[in-house]
Structure 1
Amino acid sequence: MTSLQVDIDQLTRLTRALDSSLVSLREARRALDHVRADQLGTADLDAACDGFQERWSYGARELTQRVKAVREGVDRSAAEYAELEKAIRAAFRAAAEAPRG
């Protein structure tokens, strides 16, 4: 027999964790935006930092989009599971109240 159990509270906690990661990514991007390569030192170091910052910005934007997509999916799943639980409860309640004969 197959058993499926979904903890909607866990899905809610996952949503909060995803939101927190989005905030962290946003803060990290802002922090890097304020660093200028010409403040760091040698031309080689400046060039390396510029390259890193470009790659980091691109990667952070991509990661942000993917985390948002996962978050939307988790939200949708939690809502659908909650609706399913509600329907199952209503069906059991109706069955219990039905006249037996």
Structure 2
Amino acid sequence: MSDFTVDVDFLAKLSKDLQGCASELEEGLKALKDVGPTGLGFDFLDDSCAHFQDKWEYGLKKVHECVKVLHEGLDQVQQNYAGTEQGLTKAMSGGN
């Protein structure tokens, strides 16, 4: 029989790291908005910047959706494993 362990602290850290990832993407988007997609001196650069900003916003929205689902799922998994460990510890120690 193989050993199977779950590090609930690692699951919590992973969930937090995922949220940080989305925050960093937001900061990049904010910086791009602050610069603005126009006024770079060339129409093709302005158009490219606007196109990139639109794609970034769309991608960021999708990342947020995924991070939210993963965060909720990881929280549930963490709670389930913690509850299982507590139940097993209680059962093994003869506690009620």
TM-score for the superposition, normalised by structure 2? 0.89
Which whole-Å deviations, capped at 9, do the CAs of 1:43-88 have from their partners, x for residues lacking one? 1111111111111110111111111211111111111000000000
Partners of 1:22 and 1:28 in 2: how far apart? Answer: 10
Partners of 1:83 and 1:35 in 2: how far apart? Answer: 49
Equivalent residue number for residue 92 of structure 1: 92
The answer as to whether partners of 1:15 and 1:75 remain within 8 angstroms in 2 is yes
User: Where do 5+ consecutive residues of structure 2 fail to align?
Assistant: none
Equivalent residue number for residue 8 of structure 1: 8
Partners of 2:41 and 2:64 in 1: how far apart? Answer: 31
The answer as to whether partners of 2:29 and 2:53 remain within 8 angstroms in 1 is no
The aligned amino acid for 1:37 is P
Equivalent residue number for residue 57 of structure 1: 57
Shift >3 Å, 4+ stretches: none
Partners of 1:54 and 1:47 in 2: how far apart? Answer: 11
TM-score for the superposition, normalised by structure 1? 0.85
User: Where do 5+ consecutive residues of structure 1 fail to align?
Assistant: none
- How many residue pairs end up in the alignment? 95
